[in-house]
Amino acid sequence: MTKAHGYAKSGVPLYLLLDPWHSGRPTAALYGEPEHGTYRVLDMVEYGGKLTLPAPFDLEIDTGSFPVR
């Protein structure tokens, strides 16, 4: 069982994955709406973009300052 699957199965509402090695371009992906142990992709941006977390957070994250490996 992967972490994301375990979190989704437990009902954790959001899962944020920061991946500096994603297909040669660093990305930040927000997953949500867990159902049957699976998340849906809510938003994905390359580092440098802005990612918005929904309520109850209502927060915009500027990924431009995230380190790239």
Predicted local distance difference test score (pLDDT) of residue 22 = 79
Predicted local distance difference test score (pLDDT) of residue 6 = 94
Instruction: For residue 22, give the 3-state DSSP assignment.
Output: helix
Single out the residue of 36, 30, 38, 32 nearest to residue 61, CA to CA.
Answer: 30
Phi, psi of 11 (to 5 degrees): 90, 15
Predicted local distance difference test score (pLDDT) of residue 26 = 94
Are 17 and 31 a contacting pair, CB within 8 Å?
yes
Cis preceding linkage at 56, omega within 30? yes
pLDDT along the chain (69 residues), means of 10: 90 94 89 95 95 93 87
C-alpha–C-alpha distance, residues 10 and 34, integer Å: 9
